Amino acid sequence: MMSNPYFVRTFKGAARNRLFLFPYAGGGASAFHSWQKHFTDTEILPVHYPGRETRIKERPLESLTLLVEELWAGMEPLLRDGTPYYLFGHSLGTKVAYELALLIRQRDLPCQPKGLIIAAGKAPCLKETHPIHQLDDAHFIREIGRFSATPPSILASPELMSLFLPTLRADFRLDETYHRREIEKVKCPILTLMGDQDPELTLDELLMWRNYTQGDFAVQTVAGAHMFILTNKEAVLRILQDYLGS
Q: Report the catalytic residues.
A: 91, 226
Are 244 and 17 in contact by the 8 Å Cβ rule? The answer is yes
Neighbours of 93 (CB within 10 A): 29
DSSP-based three-state secondary structure for 81: coil
* Gap between the Cα atoms of 120 and 227, Å rounded: 8
CB-neighbour burial class of residue 87 (10 A; exposed 0-12, middle 13-18, buried 19+): buried
DSSP alpha helix (H) spans, the chain: 64-75, 92-106, 137-144, 152-155, 158-177, 203-207, 228-231, 233-244
* Gap between the Cα atoms of 243 and 38, Å rounded: 14
Neighbours of 49 (CB within 10 A): 27
* Gap between the Cα atoms of 69 and 50, Å rounded: 14
